[in-house]
Amino acid sequence: MFDAFGDRFNKMTGRTRFVVCRLFVHCRGDYVAPLLGVLNQAARVAVQEQGDLVRTGSELVKVCQSLLEATSYWQSAANEGDVFWQEEAAGDYVSELFTDSASRYLSQTSDFYTADTNQPLTLPVTHNLVVMITAAYVGEVAPLETDLADIDALTQGLKALINLHYQNSLRAIQVHFSPAQLGDELTDDQVLENFPELIPL
């Protein structure tokens, strides 16, 4: 995932190291509904703040903390990333991951909610939720630059994301989630079809 030789060479030349990584966390069970509420709140703040990394980072902390409180519901996970020595190249990769995450099943939040008086007041509740967190940062963070398809490693990776916010090292933050809102459903088959990279924990 990361080029160790190229990494060492570029460090020796004093170049700025940019890392872009994406984490997938698949939760299954009753905790999905409250976690979906946290995610939708974070999405609303991100839209309102229009890219303010401090406020968006604060919401990322809440998302990570909520995931850390739900370890018993973690089903599978995956991660990917790369190191860049040019900010523009890192930005291009962030955009690439954004497009891919947004194209996943029901992973875009809706801007408008409409009430249909002919529909029952109860909404179907999904038991699957996949959270996709993309982050770009400056420096080197070992817990994020390793295989996170392990409960202990994923725990450390989420804590590292929280620390990056407090260290002001984040350069970009994106959080996508599927399904995007209460009432939508992500079936077991759809998880397998749309998130083939997930590895059981």
Residue 185 backbone dihedrals phi, psi, to 5 degrees = -130, 140
The fraction of the chain above a pLDDT of 90, given in percent, is 62
Residue 12 backbone dihedrals phi, psi, to 5 degrees = -65, -30
Q: pLDDT-derived band of residue 125, with 50, 70 and 90 as boundaries?
A: low
In the chain, which ranges are E strands?
Answer: 18-28, 74-84, 128-138, 170-178, 199-200
Alpha helical stretches, state H, 13-52: 32-49
In this prediction the pTM is: 0.85
Mean pLDDT across the stretch 126-131?
91
Residue type (1 letter), 44: R
Mean pLDDT across the stretch 171-191?
88
Average confidence score pLDDT of the chain: 84
Res. 89: pLDDT tops 60: yes
Q: pLDDT-derived band of residue 5, with 50, 70 and 90 as boundaries?
A: very low
> What pLDDT score was predicted for residue 11?
54
> What pLDDT score was predicted for residue 157?
97
Separation of alpha carbons 101 and 92, rounded Å? 14
Separation of alpha carbons 153 and 137, rounded Å? 19
> What pLDDT score was predicted for residue 159?
98
For residue 118 the two structure tokens come to: 């002919």
Q: pLDDT-derived band of residue 14, with 50, 70 and 90 as boundaries?
A: low
> What pLDDT score was predicted for residue 41?
87
For the ranges 32-46, 51-65, 67-81, 152-166, the lowest mean pLDDT is seen at 32-46
Mean pLDDT across the stretch 43-55?
81
CA distances from 140 to 19, 44, 74 (A): 8, 30, 26
> What pLDDT score was predicted for residue 121?
44
Predicted confidence (pLDDT) per residue in 141-180, tens digit? 999 999 999 999 999 999 999 999 999 999 999 999 999 8
> What pLDDT score was predicted for residue 108?
55
